[in-house]
Structure 1
Amino acid sequence: MRRFAPIAAALVTLAVAAASWVMDGNAPVVEDSRPVTSDRPSTPAAKQTSTTSRNANRGGFDFYVLSLSWSPTYCDSEAGRDNRVQCGTGKRFGWVVHGLWPQNEHGYPQDCDSTQGSRVPDSIARGIMDIMPGLGLIGHQWRKHGSCSGLSMEDYFALVRKAHDKILVPPQFSSVRQPLQTSPTALEQAFIRSNRGLTASAVAITCDSQGVDEVRICLDTSLNFRTCREVDQRSCERSDLIIPPQP
């Protein structure tokens, strides 16, 4: 039995070394990835596969994506039911700004280093809550996307306001009091008709299992409409959509 003692000791030594190697963080890591533009889980019809770059250089991107979210769809979700700021009693939000996202032709930067810090002061946040309801949403959008714009917080949220005000929501979709049945194509065409210069290759409609989720519009850094093939290709592929009514 003694002749096996050196072998057993060697095996124990190897096991300890392997455990230490893993705990030190030297083991191979599978890189995480997420959809190209969505901050929420994508539906199969809107699934996107490009990976993103973390801690990219501030201002290093190709264009913006303005994401307008239909608030009643979000408020019908599990997450929305707990959001009293956007979805509580008496809240009648329609199209709200989900974000203004720096985007590349393939993928996008996120979570960039910024000398501005991570907390958005109340003086800035309160001034945009009418179109971007929720301090949590505002702070998250700054940290994840605004930090990559190369702008100060004040200038970034001023640009969010300017981008929002540029878009004319089609009258038939601006205020919905009863469930409205439409299609991604009809909604997209209505936005195109209402916004001169907007083309089908510069806008995408996303959806959840049944209803409209967001309208995503691509803008250059001067806020002119521009094509965005990767974003456009990820439009909802349903033949019909429900737009839930505002409360």
Structure 2
Amino acid sequence: MHKGLLALLLLAAPAPALAQAAYCSIPQQVPRPRIELPPSNEPRRLIPIAGYTLALSWSPQYCATARGGDSAFQCGGRNGKFGFILHGLWPEGTGRDWPQYCRAADLLPRQVIRQNLCVTPSAQLLQHEWAKHGSCMTTRPELYFNLARALYEGIRYPDMAQLARRDTLTVKQFTAAFARANKGLSPGMIRVKTARGGWLSEVSLCMDRAMDYARCPASQRGAPEAASLRIRPGPNILPPKARAAPARRPALKLDLDPNAQIPSD
């Protein structure tokens, strides 16, 4: 296995992270998802990977409007209170299309769900991410989620409570604050998605094929820089203990093919 990737995966391998959770407790019986098949309007696409997106959802916004049993763990408050959650790690194409649903995806093992539920607090979302995106990167779900979790754990966040209190805030000001918190990240590598009313919904970080931060392609659009941004207050999250951010992964390429796997030596 690529040595840089191996070191990154080992950082993420033990217990679930609490970096963006005020607390998180996993029940003895973890939620079970449903098998997810490609919907009729989203066909299977086997195309080359040109880069990646790390998508981070602002949980308070999602929970403000979420309905249904799939959101109970994330939004009920009984098992945790969350700030930014890992929506997913997505392979991107060269234009407006991206690889998706590359192979049949079995139901995720309980242990994989348990390891990732404090980072992506929805078993069904985990199943969806594996079926739609992870299946295009590797045949082993634990490798996909270990990699995604390690990338997520390497992110640092601006003071969201302070930003939520501001009377005026633009997308440009927010991306500048987010970039300042992360070495090697610039505002042009960040896309912001908003919900109706200008509420912060999601932050996407663009990466190249080596999974280094990269300028977002023109086809990857977000809210305009000058747009006003509102942030729903999140839980009081203690800053993580100081530790070095995971090393970047030089020249790491996960090429798409019918038997795609993490490269080995």
Q: TM-score, normalised by structure 1?
A: 0.69
Which of 179, 182, 193 is the matching residue for 1:192? Answer: 179
Q: Note the C-alpha offset of 1:222.
A: 3.4
Aligned to 1:44: none
Which residue in 2 is equivalent to 1:169?
157
Please say if 1:105 is aligned against 2:75: no
Change over 3 Å in CA distance of 1:241–1:81 after alignment to 2? farther
Question: Max radius of gyration: which structure?
Answer: 1
Percent identity over the alignment? 30
CA contact (8 A) 2:175 2:187 kept: yes
User: Could you tell me which residue of structure 1 aligns to residue 194 of structure 2?
Assistant: 207
Partner of 1:89: 77
- Cα distance, 1:105–1:93 mapped onto 2, change above 3 Å: same
In the other structure, the counterpart of 2:208 is 220
Contact conserved, 1:180 with 1:243, CA < 8 A, in 2? no
Question: Which runs of 5 or more structure 1 residues have no equivalent in the other structure?
Answer: 1-31, 34-51
Distance in 1, matches of 2:204 and 2:132, equals 17
Q: Give the number of the structure with larger relative contact order, counting CA–CA contacts within 8 Å between residues 6 or more apart.
A: 2
Give me the whole-angstrom Cα distance separating, in 2, the residues matched to 1:214 and 1:104.
20
Unaligned runs of 5+ in 2: 1-39, 236-265
Taking a change above 3 Å as real, the CA distance of residues 145 and 153 of structure 1, as seen in their structure-2 partners, is: same
CA distance in 2, matches of 1:176, 1:151: 42
Deviation of residue 129 (structure 1)? 0.9
Cross-structure match for 2:27: none
Partners of 1:109 and 1:239 in 2: how far apart?
Answer: 31
Find the aligned partners of 1:57 and 1:82 in 2 and give their Cα distance.
29
Count of equivalent residues:
192
SS of 1:147's partner is helix
Amino acid at match of 1:97: L
- Tell me if the contact between 2:54 and 2:205 (Cα under 8 Å) persists in the aligned partners: yes
Which is helix-richer, 1 or 2?
1
Q: CA deviation at 1:69?
A: 0.4
1:234 is the counterpart of 2:228: no
Match of 2:64 in 1: 76
Query: Among residues 99, 106, 125, which one is paired with 1:118 in the alignment?
Result: 106
Deviation per residue, 1:156-178 (Å, 9 max, x gap): 001111110121111x11x5796
Q: How many angstroms apart in 2 are the aligned matches of 1:80 and 1:163?
A: 29
Structure 1 residue 231 displacement after superposition:
5.2
2:18 equivalent in structure 1: none
In structure 2, what is the Cα distance between the partners aligned to 1:65 and 1:74? 20
2:121 is equivalent to residue 133 of structure 1 = yes
Q: How far apart in 2 are the matches of 1:113 and 1:82?
A: 24
User: In the aligned structure 2, how far is the partner of 1:153 from the partner of 1:130?
Assistant: 17
Q: Which amino acid aligns with 1:169?
A: Y
Q: Distance in 1 between matches of 2:227 and 2:213?
A: 26
Mapping 1:24-35, distance limit 5 Å: none
